[in-house]
Amino acid sequence: MTTIRKSTLQFLKNIAKNNNKAWFDEHKNDYLDAKANMENFMQAIMDRLNKSDAIEKYHLYRIYRDVRFSKDKTPYKTFLHAYLKREGAERRGGYWVGVEPGNTHIGGGFYGPEKDDLFRIRKEFEQDGDTINGILNEPRFKTFFGGLKGEGLKTAPKGFDKEHKNIELIRKKQFYAMRPFSDAEVTSTDFVDNVVETLEAIRPFFDYMSDVLTTDLNGVSTL
């Protein structure tokens, strides 16, 4: 059974208290062990998801921070984040696994849709809100994620009615869902099952958004 080890969380707690190169160099093997643990966990998630989806690859983000334009000059991240890329232009949306002591979140979505995709999504919500609201109000989605998250405009986008019944969705610039997990849940033997179940719960949203982003408003494929 693939698990996130307690030693992996402990390394992340330690580096949060000792975020400097000298300490990191001295504990480089601890980092490599934590990294390998996360890679094995992500491979297990990818293998499981591929039974019902098509995952092209997973990517584990580097622990080294880019401090060039940041006031915070600490050199290392205090978390291990990864995403899984779905295969093919017809499959949109990316799964997200973020392990951090006291702040682990699992989910995914659309964090920075390009201009044309964002407009297409908003026009779909303007034309038909029943389908997306049905997905977001599905009991498992609501239980796991609470609702759809993401930044949005304070008012209606240009060309859209601010009084539209779906304006809360239309205003959004990001569309994602996240489920939190405690440290005890993260290191439990059934965490891999819970992660897979969580990511599978977001699939109806991904499939709907994939349909939207690969067709025009008349339902004709753009691929």
SS (H, E, C) the chain: CCCCCHHHHHHHHHHHHCCCHHHHHHCHHHHHHHHHHHHHHHHHHHHHHCCCCCEEEEEECCCECCCCCCCCCCCECCCEEEEEEECCCCCCCEEEEEECCCCEEEEEEECCCCHHHHHHHHHHHHHCCHHHHHHHCCHHHHHHHCCCECCECCCCCCCCCCCCCCHHHHCECCEEEEEEECHHHHCCCCHHHHHHHHHHHCHHHHHHHHHHHCECCCCCECC
Residues 6+ apart with CB under 8 A from 174: 109, 110, 111, 112, 113, 149, 150, 151, 152
Instruction: Give pLDDT, residue 70.
Output: 87
Other Cβ atoms less than 10 A from the Cβ of 10: the count is 14
Strand 80-86, strand 55-60: pairing: antiparallel
Residue 218 placed within a domain? no
Q: What is the pLDDT along the chain (223 residues), one digit of tens a residue?
A: 689 999 999 999 999 999 999 999 999 999 999 999 999 999 999 999 999 999 999 999 999 999 888 888 999 999 999 999 999 999 999 999 999 999 999 999 999 999 999 999 999 999 999 999 999 999 999 999 999 999 999 999 999 999 999 999 999 999 999 999 999 999 999 999 999 999 999 999 999 999 999 999 888 999 9
Q: Can you tell me the distance from the alpha carbon of 197 to that of 214, in angstroms, rounded to the nearest whole number?
A: 26
Residue 125 placed within a domain? yes
Domain ranges, residue 53:
6-213
Residue 222 placed within a domain? no
CA distance between the termini of the chain? 40
Residue 1 placed within a domain? no
Residue 81 placed within a domain? yes
Residue 92 placed within a domain? yes
Instruction: Give pLDDT, residue 64.
Output: 96
Instruction: Give pLDDT, residue 69.
Output: 86
Q: Can you tell me the distance from the alpha carbon of 98 to that of 9, in angstroms, rounded to the nearest whole number?
A: 12
pTM: 0.93
Residue 220 placed within a domain? no
Domain count, the chain: 1
Domain CATH code at residue 166: 3.30.930
